[in-house]
Structures are given as C-alpha cells and as structure tokens.
Amino acid sequence: MCGIVGAIGYETTTEILLKGLERLEYRGYDSAGLYINDQTGHDYLVKTVGKIATLKSAVKPTVQGSLGIAHTRWATHGQPSEANAHPQFSTSQRFYLVHNGVINNFTALKQQYLADTHFASQTDTEVLVQLIAKFVEQEQLTTLAALQKTLQLVNGSYALILVDRDQPDQLYIAKNKSPLLIGLGEQGNVVTSDALATYDLTDQYLELHDQEIAAVSADQVQLLTLQGASQTRQPITITVTDGEVSKGTYPTYMLKEIDEQPAVMRRISQKYLTAAGEPQIDPNLLTALAQADRLYFVAAGTSYHASLVGKRLFEKFTQIPVEVGVASEFGYHWPILAQHPFFIFLSQSGETADSRQVLIEAKRRGLPTLVITNVTNSTLARESDFHLDLYAGPEIAVASTKAYTAQIAVEAVLAKALGTYLKLPAAEEWSLQTQLGLAANGMETLVDNKQGWSDLANNFLGASQDAFYLGRGIDYDVSLEAALKLKEISYVHTEGFAAGELKHGTIALIEENVPVITFITEASTAGHTRGNVQEVLARGAQVLVIASEDCQQADDQIVLPQLTPELMPLLTGVCGQLLAYYATLQRGLNVDQPRNLAKSVTVE
Ligand code: F6R
C-alpha cells in the first residue's frame, strides 16, 4: 500500500526512483509521481495516473538531479488523479511531500489553521505540506521546526519525505506507524518504505521508530525524536538478492511463488528441524508459551485463514485452547481474556496496521507476544517479544500463496515443539519431518500438472461469475482461503462456507451450472459432505471434488496424498491457488496486481 523512495547524492536519481517505484509496484497503487531537484535551481514534478510505465514515459530526459522523492499512491482520500497523486506541494511551491498513511484529523487541521489556503487536491497529505509551509513562511520557523510542529498536531499514521526547495541538499523524513528506512549508500543515501526498492544500492539501513524525524543529506543522517531529542542507532543489514525479486522465466510472480512452495516446505524443515526431525525453537519462547492457558491468534485475510488452521494444530498437539481473531475486529472488541493469555500474530508482510494496533495494545497490557512473519526486519517482528521467520522468500504477487502454506508449516513446527516440551505423546510421536516431506512431494505433483489445472479452471470456472467452496472442519478453513484467492484476483463472486451450513440458507443460491468446489479430506465428516455434494448436484451445480486418499471416491477429479488431517491445507490450499490463478489468466486479467488491492496494508 503506497510506496516511498527518496535519494540524495546520486547522479542517477531519476533511474533510482523509477526503478524503486517499479519494485514497489507489487504493493498496489493507482497513481504515481516524482519530484527531482538538481541543486542548481532546476526542479521537476511529474505525476500520472495508472502504471509506472506511464510515469516513465512522461519523464523527459531533462528530468535529472541529485535529490529526488517518488511515490506510488493507493487512494484513500480523493480519487486516483494527477492532482491527488504525490508529491503534494505547498501553494508557494517551495515544499514537496510524499506520504504513506492517514491523517485522521486533517479536516480539523484544515479548519483551524488553513481556512484561507487554496487546496489543489482532496488529499489529507496536502494539509501536511500546506501547514509546514505556513509555519515556515508566516511564523518564520525553520523547516525542521515546522515539520516538528506540524507532526505534533497530527493524529494519524505517516511515513513521509519532505523537500524544501530552498535547501536542496536535505531530505526531511518522519515516521509514525507506517514503515520507513534510511539506506546508507556509498555515493549517497536513500529513503524507502521497503528495502526491496533500493537493495542494489545498499544493504545497510537505519530504521526510524515511531514519532521520529531525520534530516538526511548525501553523507549524513541526523536522527531526532518529534520533540527534538537527538537519537543514535546502529544500522541493520537487510539483504535481498536479485533472484528473489525477479520473475526469472515465469510469466507472473504468482505462478513462480506457487511453484516455490515445495522448496519452501523443505527450507522450513531444514531451518526448524534437526537431522533427527526434532524441532529447534528458542527455549524462552517455549517456556513462555507453556505458561499460557489460552493462545490468541490475531491476523487479517489469508493470514487469518492460516491462523484458523493454527488453532486446530495447537489444540490437537498442545492441548491449549486457542481463540482466533480478525485483527480489525479484535482491536475494537477485546474479548474477556484468560488468566495467562499469549498472543500470536501471523503476518506475511509484518506491517499490517490492523494487526499492529492489537500488538501495541497487548504490549501495553504487558502480555507476551509472538509474530510469525516473512519479513525479518518488519515492524511487527521488531516490536513483538518473539518472532519466527517463514523463510518463504519475498512474496511479490499481491495474492498470498507461499506465505500461507509457510505459515501453516511454521505453526506445525511450533505446535510440535510446544507439545513435545509439554511431553504430550501426540506431539512427541508425530513425525513432522515426514509430513513436510510428503507435503513438498504432493505440492510438486500438483504444480507439475499445470495443463490439468488450466483445464479444470476452464471447465468449472470458465463461464461463471459465481463460485462456491465448501468443506467441514479443516476443509472449511481452506474453503475460506480458496474463495478469497479466486475473488481477489478474478473478481468472480465467491463464498467459502461450512458444508453443513448449506441447507441453512446458501443452498438458495445454487442453480444450474453454478460451480461448487468441495474439499473432502477428513474421514470423520466425509460422509456428511458427500451428502451436501448430492444436494447441490440435485440442483444442477457443477461439482469439483478435491479429496484425500483416505476419503476418495471413484469420480473425484483430484485425489491428494493423505497427510495428518490438520496439514491437508498444505495441499488443498495449493489446489485453490492453482484454480484461482488459471481462472484469472483465462479472463485476461492482471494476476499479480489485482485492482484495488495492496500487498502491504499499512492503514487501519
Ligand atoms: C490475500 C492477502 C491478504 C493478506 C492480508 C494480511 O491474498 O494477501 O488477505 O493476507 O492483507 O496481510 P499480512 O499477512 O501481510 O498481515
């Protein structure tokens, strides 16, 4: 969601900014822009609606300089338009600003301080830049002081870069809630919301904490709190390799990431299990978890669906009760907690604002927290007591695939480790190494059958604008995820539901030829789900059955190797991904960057 890149001190600023924006495309955006200053009195502002390719073609060869800021915008306040795209600028055109986040009190600030100012956009961001200009131009504050004063008035989230045209050797930056990093390069410095944007320039990054400001020049960084207290901090190393961020020979990132899943399973096995198959988890984490009388999983979207699977794994192998919450709900409706709660957050990006607000409140209450994430240096990872990596490698396609299965595999490792620590026979006797190996092999067979999945998607989902996914127990959890996968990239209206709920309402929607994808991998409920299949067949639905070996019947279209039931989503999840992928491709849509969606959702 929104991306920021800034550079100072480089000769190739325009190229750095455009390349950086291209690398942030995956986060989701609808317009983009940049501001460049050559420090000899020339500056340039270019903004366009649509893809970075459009911005690139609007940037003339003359647009060169040694200071620049750039932005991809995902509209929150005001429609996607050139006027609303960033950089936003003051009426005097002295100040230029790019911003990620939301200024909650922008209307009040406008009324109180800027009643006479003419606004060129509908954005909350313009209020920031106009206020800074007002404090400099009318109250004679320095730019730094004006920025401090403005941010002290603000209620909201921000990661921002400000340029003062009269000081073209400085970038002023600030952060609250939204991520921002300063990259320390050899020739100059960069500022970015995601190290992917600038990984070829440096692997050394200074993190800004909430409510901090910095003045960044080509060879210096001055770090301050919002109140002006000087801060010092050591850089951290963030390495991203070319191979991880390029599509290679794949037509899309999503297909590459679906294909990477067997390797991710093997990597998780290597990282978290000894040669003898015993889990290796920080003993302090296990001790803290063992003291809990209830685990609270909190997450959003696909990570929420992986948390539902986590509940089943933890309750089975650790005997500790688990509650699962949607982050955006949990934060505003805290349940009555157990006596010794332990919070587990699942987040691919480690930046999701909805999850972070729950983490912050859990910390305020002094409760222990763990984050399971794919981004080691992300905000959530830094702010929790413990964190575990997914080792899935960067996930670029907006729709989460390999992070979902990696989350389930890491949950399984932790459930096994905790159950073994608690000396529970079910966990001690469970060979997770074998299960992850079987899962990797099963995934390989699935992804090798691309033509088969393309044909199934065409036959079952080709013509319909509706699709239903059903299952019971763990298969219900996967139904929710498979339905989300299809709807978010193909725009087909989908529902995932508990098969038993069918006759309590949803069956009214079943009509001739509507696709119903059914997961049947739990022997104890297979008979009932088969009954539901008959009910929809009788009403003309086209049914695709994905069953496990133990539950298979003669006409099932897909039969999967049998894993521990709670791990079947490692395979059924991939089936859902492949169906969604091909159904979307066949509709001629952009698989990697679906409309309206952002990869990293940094606003609540
Ligand atoms: C769907 C998807 C989203 C994310 C959700 C949470 O494919 O990717 O539903 O799962 O926005 O994001 P993270 O996992 O980064 O917290």
**How far is residue 476's CA from residue 569's CA, in Å, rounded to a whole number?**
10
CATH 3.40.50.10490 at 450-593, yes or no: yes
Confirm or reject: Cβ of 355 under 6 Å from ligand 1: yes
Q: Are strands 204-207 and 181-184 parallel, antiparallel or unpaired?
A: antiparallel
Quickly state the pLDDT bin for 442 (edges 50, 70, 90).
Answer: very high
Confirm or reject: Cβ of 87 under 6 Å from ligand 1: no
The reported pLDDT for the residue numbered 499 is 95
Q: How many A from CA of 304 to the centre of ligand 1?
A: 8
Residue 392 in tokens: 């899935």
Q: How many A from CA of 389 to the centre of ligand 1?
A: 16
Quick check: 547 pLDDT over 90?
yes
**How far is residue 75's CA from residue 98's CA, in Å, rounded to a whole number?**
13
The reported pLDDT for the residue numbered 455 is 97
The answer to whether the 3-240 and 450-593 domains have the same CATH topology is: no
The reported pLDDT for the residue numbered 249 is 82
Q: Which atom of ligand 1 is nearest to the CA of 355?
A: 16
pLDDT, tens only, 426-441: 999 999 999 999 999 9
Quick check: 26 pLDDT over 90?
no
Q: What is the mean pLDDT of residues 154-165?
A: 96
Q: What is the mean pLDDT of residues 75-84?
A: 91
H or E element: which one contains 269? Answer: helix 261-272
The reported pLDDT for the residue numbered 75 is 85
pLDDT, tens only, 562-597: 999 999 999 999 999 999 999 999 999 999 988 888
- CA 465, 471, 477, 478 torsion-angle sign: negative
Quick check: 172 pLDDT over 70?
yes
Confirm or reject: Cβ of 591 under 6 Å from ligand 1: no
In the chain, where the domains are located:
3-240, 248-448, 450-593
| 575 flagged as catalytic | no
Give the percent of the chain with pLDDT over 70.
100
Domain 3-240 architecture? 4-Layer Sandwich (3.60)
Confirm or reject: Cβ of 307 under 6 Å from ligand 1: no
| 599 flagged as catalytic | yes
Q: Please, are residues 162 and 172 in contact by the beta-carbon 8 Å criterion? A: yes
Q: How many A from CA of 598 to the centre of ligand 1?
A: 9
pTM for the structure as a whole: 0.84
The reported pLDDT for the residue numbered 599 is 75
Q: What is the mean pLDDT of residues 410-425?
A: 98
Quick check: 1 pLDDT over 70?
no
Catalytic residue among 110, 256, 485, 599: 599
Quickly state the pLDDT bin for 179 (edges 50, 70, 90).
Answer: confident
Confirm or reject: Cβ of 400 under 6 Å from ligand 1: yes
Q: Whose CA is nearest to atom 10 of ligand 1?
A: 302
Residue 226 in tokens: 């919002």
**How far is residue 256's CA from residue 287's CA, in Å, rounded to a whole number?**
38
Confirm or reject: Cβ of 562 under 6 Å from ligand 1: no
Q: What is the mean pLDDT of residues 533-555?
A: 96
Quickly state the pLDDT bin for 70 (edges 50, 70, 90).
Answer: very high
Q: How many A from CA of 40 to the centre of ligand 1?
A: 44
Rounded to 5 degrees, φ, ψ at 98 are -115, 145
pLDDT, tens only, 308-319: 999 999 999 999
Quick check: 463 pLDDT over 90?
no
Quickly state the pLDDT bin for 69 (edges 50, 70, 90).
Answer: very high
Strand positions, DSSP E, 438-564:
466-471, 493-498, 515-520, 542-548, 558-560
Amino acid in the structure at residue 102: V
CATH 3.40.50.10490 at 248-448, yes or no: yes
> Which residues, 6 or more positions from 65, have their beta carbon under 8 angstroms from its beta carbon?
13, 14, 36, 37, 38, 39, 42, 43, 44
Amino acid in the structure at residue 398: V
The reported pLDDT for the residue numbered 438 is 96
**How far is residue 578's CA from residue 401's CA, in Å, rounded to a whole number?**
10
Cα diameter, the chain: 81
Q: Please, are residues 157 and 204 in contact by the beta-carbon 8 Å criterion? A: no
Q: What is the mean pLDDT of the chain?
A: 95
CA distances from 513 to 465, 517, 519, 542 (A): 11, 12, 18, 5
Q: Please, are residues 515 and 479 in contact by the beta-carbon 8 Å criterion? A: no
State the first-to-last Cα distance of the chain, in angstroms, to the nearest integer: 12
